[in-house]
Structure 1
Amino acid sequence: MNEQPQGYGAQASWRTIQGFLPEEYRLGPDGMPVEEWWDWRGHRIHLDRFPNPDAPIRVILFHGVGTNGRQMSTILGAPLARSGFETVAIDMPGYGVTKVARGVPVTYDDWVAAASDFIDAELARDPRPIILYGLSAGGMLTYHAAALNRKVKGIVGMTFLDQRVQQVADETAYNKLMNRLGMPQVRLAKKIGLGALRMPMSLASKMRALVNDKAALRACYADRTSAGNWVSMAFLASYADYVPALEPEKFDVCPILLTQPAEDHWTPLHLSNLFLDRIAKVPVRKVMLDNAGHYPIEQPGLRQMHDAIVQFARECAGR
């Protein structure tokens, strides 16, 4: 545990990917996050933090299955920090530069547990309120973590996808046939002890719709710590079948904001609506991001996302 893993300073992929963002969203030498490491169940989990002890509220940023924490820092962590918030982006086990404990299988249940434990760790060191943001699968991760933890003041998702719903699973998989034939095999592999077998996430999901710029997509695919990542059968099965601590009809933890890219060809609005329309005990707000793809690299969507989250965060902080 004393060995210090390599951070993003040693990785070129994120710099290539951020080159497709508007110039003001690219991290330069004077605007880099503080890199930290959090020890959790044998894993050394990487954090990108923009500290601000005067911020009224803090934002924890979660990536999805085609991105990583540094990509969250560029599109949102740094912009929110410039607007006066403290932000921290986390690399979930198996993604980014987090160092996974040798021989320890990673499941989606671990992601939820890690997210909840990290919220507890953050509140233990600093009682200022916290909201969560999640991109893609990270959106539902914010919900699952909030339902389990019950201590956050708000959640923001790029999507809210309940993979237990057949329509959602069919439309977000590589294709419908892959989902209908492949997922039973994935579940069987886990059941008979072959859960450690791995496959490219790009074959399990519609990763080809991650970004709408083809050159940017090639750069993302080339990054084995984000869109080019391989995941285990155990992770895929647990992701598909995860049961939240609170079903949407009973969710009463905090308000919810959906920031939906208008040109998202992977997870369009109707898929999140299948879940969000079941929530009645807390306010749910939906904001469309014009011209933006699933991983948004376009204006005005990036600016609209930032502005909507700033307003939402201030409301959650009571400001």
Structure 2
Amino acid sequence: MTYAAQPAWRAIQEHLPEPYRLTPETEPAEEWWEPEGPGGHRIHLDTYRAPDAPLKVILFHGVGTNGRQMTTILGRPLAERGYETIAVDMPTYGVTEVAPGTTVTYADWVRLGVDLVAAERARDDRPIVLYGLSAGGMETFHVAAQAPPGSGIAGIVGMTFLDQDSLRVRVATAFDPVTGLLGRPLMALLARTPLRRVRVPMRWVSKMRTLVNDRAAKRAAYADRSSAGNLVSVAFLDSYLSHRPAVAPEDFDVCPVLLTQPAADRWTPLALSTPFLSRITKVPVTTVLLDGAGHYPIEQPGLDQMVEAIAGFCAERARAERR
């Protein structure tokens, strides 16, 4: 399947401001990437290729969205501002084809992110900025921390940076406090049994009900089995909750960090990201609040503010890399 044949994203984008809705003339190219090494997945990419652009932006979705939803709110707007953008569907989300018989983990997502950066760097030597929404925010950090020296990562942007080692974060972002308290040890236990392959709706274990603040938009998102309506395995949940970065935040010196925090986010408010970001001291860390925007930011003026802040960050990183 391709997004050309998938109606769910079209229903979701109807809740975006009209300038952000894709038309047949503005839809991205759809590419397929088959990473080398283990896995065997066929990864879907939404791309706006621009060989003359000074910089590339790779967009990571979270556990309630997919690559096409990254394209609508950020991929195309940044492309219109002169940047090459690549929105990836991680395995089990979007229209990526998962290899038969495999059980996908969050560690696989991070490895694929590192491999995608390497693949894009092999095409040319332009700098790369990583953007991540929701869980994709911390994924940008995990990828940047795990990527080898010379990866070309010039900056990371997150909509949130959630440290799953923090009990406060787990309790605040889980379906309810009991799930937050017991989820990590329970998933660790079940992941060592044949039940590791069992898949459950993500909305049963997380505060997915706060993905968007508009009820009609939430219904459209829930109806999409490739994003907010997706099922994930016990193995994935265990890997997500237990994953640790290759480099501690205190030692992270790869690139500057930008947090674009929706001010009306009822799932991951600013207070959940600041403890982790405050530990990053070797590179600049900047926070921009998005007025009126929810977790998946479809509201104005926050959506425009996000695009402008990230476009400015990209321009700054492109200039710095040219020096």
Please tell me the TM-score bracket, short chain as reference: over 0.9
Q: Cα deviations across residues 192-217 of structure 1 (Å, max 9, x unaligned)?
A: 23210111000110000000000000
Unaligned runs of 5+ in 1: 1-5
Stretch moving more, 180-189 or 123-132:
180-189
Structure 1 residue 192 and structure 2 residue 190: aligned? Answer: no
**Equivalent residue, structure 2, for 1:304:** 305
Cα distance in 2 for partners of 1:164, 1:176 equals 16
Could you say what the CA RMSD is over the residues aligned between the two structures, in angstroms? 0.8
Equivalent position of 1:163 in the other structure: 164
Instruction: Map 1:110-259; keep pairs closer than 5 Å.
Output: 110-149=108-147, 150=149, 151=151, 152-259=153-260
What is the TM-score with the length of structure 1 in the denominator? 0.97
Q: Which runs of 4+ in 1 moved over 3 A?
A: none
Cα deviations across residues 162-205 of structure 1 (Å, max 9, x unaligned)? 11111001100001111223332221110123210111000110
Residue-pair matches, total: 314
Question: 1:179, 1:257 → 2: CA distance?
Answer: 27
CA deviation profile, 1:246-305 (whole Å, cap 9, x unmatched): 010000000000000000000000000010011100000000000000000011111100
SS in 2 for 1:264: coil
Which residue of structure 1 lines up, in the alignment, with residue 266 of structure 2? 265
Q: Distance in 2 between matches of 1:284 and 1:159?
A: 13
Q: Is contact 2:191-2:238 (8 Å) kept?
A: yes
**Which of 61, 66, 69 is the matching residue for 1:68?**
66
Distance 1:78 1:261 in 2: 20
Distance 1:137 1:213 in 2: 20
Identity %: 61
Contact residue 59 and residue 132 of structure 2 kept, 8 A: yes
SS in 2 for 1:59: strand
Local SS of the residue matching 2:53: coil
Q: Distance in 2 between matches of 1:259 and 1:77?
A: 15
1:285 corresponding residue in structure 2? 286
List alignment gaps of at least 5 residues for structure 2: none
Deviations 1:48-82 (A, max 9, x none): 00111111001000000000000000000000000
Instruction: Report the TM-score when normalising by structure 2.
Output: 0.96
> Secondary structure of 1:252's partner?
coil
Amino acid at match of 1:160: F
How far 1:8 moved relative to its partner? Answer: 0.3
Query: Which residue type is aligned with residue 270 of structure 1?
Result: A
CA contact (8 A) 2:167 2:181 kept: no
Please name the residue that 1:78 is paired with: 76
